[in-house]
A and B are shown apart, each in its own frame.
Chain A
Amino acid sequence: MITIKYYATLAAMAGRKTEELEASNVRDVLRHIKTVYGSAAYKEARRMLITVNKESILLKKVFATSLKDGDELAFFPILAGG
């Protein structure tokens, strides 16, 4: 089971902040978002900062990053400056 965490606009679109899911890679989760929450949520999810166990998927295999039982996948707003 993978724990998914939604932040900011995506949390509002999904109507929840967290859920649990069976998935073998990031793409599976994105597909789930598209099916359950619609295309707008899917589009929003794809453009967010996606982390697996708080590590950016850019440091891994991007959308092909594999997931295993107990992993935490999070969608953070990419907007940040300082």
Chain B
Amino acid sequence: MMPNPVYALVNLSSGQVEKLTIKGEYFKKYIGGKCLAARLLLDYTRPGLDPLSPEALIIINTGPMNGSGAPSSSRFNMSFKNVLTGGIASSNCGGNFGIMLKRAGFDGLLITGRAAVPSVLEVLDGEIRLKPAGELWGLDTEETQARLPAHCGKLVIGPAGEQLVRYASTSSGERMAGRCGSGAVLGSKNLKAITAYGTKRPKLHNEEALKQYTKKWVAFLRSHPITGDALPHYGSAGLVNKANASHALPTKNFTYGHFAQADALSGEALAETSLVRNSSCISCPIRCERRVMMDGKEIKGPEFETLGFFGPNILSSDLDRILKLNYICDLLGMDTISVASTIAFAMELKEDGKADFGLDFGNTENLADVLGKIARREGSYSELANGTKALSEKYGGKEYAIHSKGLELASYEPRRSVGMGLGYATSNRGGCHLNGGYLALLESVGVISMDAQSPKGKAEWTVFLQDSLEAISAAGFCLFSAQTFVPAVFFRLGPAHWLTRLSGKLMANMGGALKLILRSAKLLSFGSMFLLPHAEALRLATGLDILTGEFILIGERSYNLERLFNIREGLGGQSDSLPARLTHEAQQPGHPETVVPLDKMLPPYYKARRWSKDGVPTEKQLDWLEIIQDS
């Protein structure tokens, strides 16, 4: 058996460090990553805390698969009270910090308090100490990492984190834990960086069997059209043309879903003009990362979200500018989605005559400068550093303030992908496509499409996918590794083939079957390369009796725990909402169906989750998930 996870509880105010071993019962039920972190946040924090107060807790942890050598298994997690929503936050990252933390002897860190001066936390072979950050404070993420010892895993914040920009991110190498403000939390704790180094090899239950399984799984990933072809060739940027063709590409602050010049920003255009090579996080055969040239320097290329938000959503088709803005955001340590979405909102505020920050749709000339001013909270730009929701509370425009619970939505226009709309509204961390179940892949940007306007089947699919993705993430896998569940045959047939279209129709009718699967998950005792290959890898790595059903159950447990945290913080059913533009204004005039029928989807969603009509997990459900015993 894999040993129980070991965590360090670090109090930055007192300098005290305490080692704690997670009890076996918790390991079995909550495995690690965001799931275990949600449990620990509930256990260790009191309600109503200011997320940026010294008392607030941030958990930086790994999943059991980190360092196992299994495919796409380097993702570590950060969970904390969400700076933008006040509910739960989890944000994950593919940098090498997680694996190094494990090698240094810790599966996770629980950090509380506030260091007296800007500091660096050093985790070195089982020992933890705090050192002054000195000259590092004020530096960007690249320079900070360059000045830290090369052999360490690093986790750093940029100027935005220091200035408590509410959507400040954290970097490990060039990978970011982008969403929800992890950088602001570290900034509020005066923590500029954490380094980790060690030589311990993670102990695996059945190393040889896992190695053999990994070989098979890698071959499967390489043979699948998405993970073996699409992601390596185009990265997530390959979605631009697809989303545009389905009117699901947010344009002009989500006024439209289609942008005439989208082609210039597509993955195909990126591959032709700027791509140098692709790259990857550690132990990932998918290699979705883009490497591009900018002013003679090789840098990380933009993801689909960044292309969308610094492109169509602000009416720009300047690809070179987007590469630059993406890089600047990474250096400053800011989430590209939230900052670009806030800028789009500010542009609309100006057009609407409500506020003028000198930002106009279609004008990107001044944006590099504006990003710096936001990160440093200069003058009125400090208001933009608080995000869309805060801005709308001051200046109005709530109906077109594109966020859910306070977190800005991702780059899929939900009026042409209504299940994605349900996902955004119910996602525990706020308007996130991945935490929301990512139904866009089955409605508007994938090969199989359910009717993108119909609520039919969407509630059950959302629950099933939310839970599955949750478990994958908690184990330490990248969510992209889950995309093989769409059978390869459909890519050979194409989206317009009658069989593919028929399958889309059938999927919409699978609500009952999915509910049955969810309710009888405890009986699904098989492993499958096609449906959640992650479960078998987790079983081999840990020795825990986890097969497909139990794996889904872990995800469901996690989703319910995070929901409990949100409810504790005042984010219940009333917060499962979207701005009026998306629920009441048709995207296309003359097509009244192009809205998100949220009121029709929420009741079946709560039912599929076995929550009350108000969206509260029932005692029976918590008992079934074996959560209640730990509360």
Q: Could you tell me which A residues sit within 8 Å of B by CB distance?
A: 7-8, 46-51, 54-59, 62-63, 76-82
Q: Is the CB of A79 within 8 A of B494?
A: no
Q: Is the CB of A58 within 8 A of B483?
A: no
In the assembled complex, how far is the CB of residue A55 from the closest CB belonging to chain B, in whole angstroms? 6
Q: Out of B233, B242, B303, B493, which one reaches A76, CB within 8 Å?
A: B242
10 contacts between A and B (CB under 8 A): A49-B242, A58-B501, A59-B247, A79-B491, A80-B226, A80-B234, A81-B226, A81-B288, A82-B238, A82-B239
| Closest B residue by C-beta to A79 | B230
Point out the residues of chain B lying under 8 angstroms from A82, CB to CB: 231, 235-239, 288, 303-304, 445, 480
Q: Is the CB of A80 within 8 A of B246?
A: no
Interface of B, secondary structure class, is: helix
Q: Is the CB of B491 within 8 A of A76?
A: no
Q: Is the CB of A54 within 8 A of B496?
A: no
Scan B587-624; emit 1 where CB is below 8 A from any A CB, else 0.
Answer: 00000000000000000000000000000000000000
Q: Is the CB of B244 within 8 A of A54?
A: yes
Known contacts A46-B494, A57-B496; is A80 also within 8 Å of B268 by CB? no
Q: Which one of B49-57, B200-208, B255-263, B536-544 is at the interface? A: B255-263
Point out the residues of chain A lying under 8 angstroms from B263, CB to CB: 54
B447 interface residue per 8 A CB criterion: yes
Report the tally of A-B residue pairs with Cβ distances under 8 A.
98
Q: Is the CB of A50 within 8 A of B303?
A: no
In the assembled complex, how far is the CB of residue B446 from the closest CB belonging to chain A, in whole angstroms? 8
Q: How many residues of B contact A (CB 8 A)?
A: 43
In the assembled complex, how far is the CB of residue A82 from the closest CB belonging to chain B, in whole angstroms? 3
Q: Is the CB of B494 within 8 A of A47?
A: yes
Known contacts A7-B268, A51-B245, A54-B262; is A79 also within 8 Å of B238 by CB? yes
Q: Could you tell me which B residues sit within 8 Å of A by CB distance?
A: 225-227, 229-231, 233-239, 241-242, 244-247, 258, 260, 262-263, 267-268, 288, 303-304, 441, 445-447, 449, 480, 483, 491-497, 501
| Closest A residue by C-beta to B433 | A82
In the assembled complex, how far is the CB of residue A62 from the closest CB belonging to chain B, in whole angstroms? 5
Q: Is the CB of A78 within 8 A of B268?
A: no
Q: Is the CB of A47 within 8 A of B242?
A: no
* Most chain A beta-carbon neighbours within 10 Å: one of B230, B446, B496: B496
Known contacts A7-B268, A80-B238, A82-B303; is A47 also within 8 Å of B227 by CB? no
Point out the residues of chain B lying under 8 angstroms from A58, CB to CB: 246, 449, 495-496, 501
Q: Is the CB of A59 within 8 A of B230?
A: no
Q: Is the CB of B260 within 8 A of A62?
A: no
Point out the residues of chain B lying under 8 angstroms from A79, CB to CB: 225-226, 229-230, 233-234, 238, 491
Point out the residues of chain A lying under 8 angstroms from B447, CB to CB: 78
Q: Out of B227, B288, B441, B491, which one reaches A78, CB within 8 Å?
A: B491
Point out the residues of chain A lying under 8 angstroms from B446, CB to CB: 80
In the assembled complex, how far is the CB of residue B370 from the closest CB belonging to chain A, in whole angstroms? 27
Known contacts A47-B497, A50-B496; is A76 also within 8 Å of B225 by CB? no
Known contacts A78-B447, A79-B238; is A48 also within 8 Å of B230 by CB? no
Point out the residues of chain A lying under 8 angstroms from B242, CB to CB: 49, 76, 78, 80
Q: In whole angstroms, how far apart are the Cα atoms of A47 and B491 in the complex? A: 7
In the assembled complex, how far is the CB of residue A10 from the closest CB belonging to chain B, in whole angstroms? 12
Q: Is the CB of A78 within 8 A of B495?
A: yes
Q: In whole angstroms, how far apart are the Cα atoms of A58 and B497 in the complex? A: 10
Q: Is the CB of A46 within 8 A of B497?
A: yes
| Closest B residue by C-beta to A26 | B496
Q: Is the CB of B231 within 8 A of A81?
A: yes
Point out the residues of chain A lying under 8 angstroms from B238, CB to CB: 77, 79-82
In the assembled complex, how far is the CB of residue B507 from the closest CB belonging to chain A, in whole angstroms? 15
The 9 closest A-B pairs by CB, nearest first: A47-B494, A82-B236, A79-B230, A80-B238, A56-B245, A81-B226, A51-B245, A82-B304, A81-B483
| Closest A residue by C-beta to B267 | A80
| Closest A residue by C-beta to B236 | A82
| Closest A residue by C-beta to B246 | A56
Point out the residues of chain A lying under 8 angstroms from B258, CB to CB: 54-55
Q: Is the CB of A49 within 8 A of B268?
A: no
Q: Is the CB of A80 within 8 A of B239?
A: yes
Q: In whole angstroms, how far apart are the Cα atoms of A57 and B32 in the complex? A: 44
Additional 14 contacts, C-beta under 8 A, given A54-B263, A79-B226, A80-B446: A46-B497, A47-B491, A47-B493, A50-B496, A54-B258, A56-B245, A56-B246, A57-B496, A59-B246, A77-B238, A79-B234, A80-B234, A80-B267, A82-B304
Q: In whole angstroms, how far apart are the Cα atoms of A61 and B138 in the complex? A: 57
Point out the residues of chain A lying under 8 angstroms from B235, CB to CB: 82
Point out the residues of chain B lying under 8 angstroms from A62, CB to CB: 496, 501
Q: In whole angstroms, how far apart are the Cα atoms of A70 and B599 in the complex? A: 41
In the assembled complex, how far is the CB of residue A29 from the closest CB belonging to chain B, in whole angstroms? 13
| Closest A residue by C-beta to B234 | A80
| Closest A residue by C-beta to B303 | A82
In the assembled complex, how far is the CB of residue A11 from the closest CB belonging to chain B, in whole angstroms? 10
Point out the residues of chain B lying under 8 angstroms from A78, CB to CB: 242, 447, 491, 494-495
Q: In whole angstroms, how far apart are the Cα atoms of A59 and B243 in the complex? A: 12
| Closest B residue by C-beta to A53 | B260
Point out the residues of chain B lying under 8 angstroms from A63, CB to CB: 496
Q: Is the CB of B227 within 8 A of A81?
A: yes
Q: Out of B445, B449, B492, B494, which one reaches A80, CB within 8 Å?
A: B445
Q: In whole angstroms, how far apart are the Cα atoms of A55 and B227 in the complex? A: 25
| Closest A residue by C-beta to B230 | A79
Point out the residues of chain A lying under 8 angstroms from B303, CB to CB: 82
Q: In whole angstroms, how far apart are the Cα atoms of A62 and B492 in the complex? A: 17
Q: Out of A46, A54, A76, A81, which one reaches B480, CB within 8 Å?
A: A81
Point out the residues of chain A lying under 8 angstroms from B483, CB to CB: 81
Q: In whole angstroms, how far apart are the Cα atoms of A76 and B230 in the complex? A: 12
Q: In whole angstroms, how far apart are the Cα atoms of A79 and B494 in the complex? A: 10
Q: In whole angstroms, how far apart are the Cα atoms of A7 and B242 in the complex? A: 13
Q: Is the CB of B268 within 8 A of A8?
A: yes
Q: In whole angstroms, how far apart are the Cα atoms of A47 and B501 in the complex? A: 12
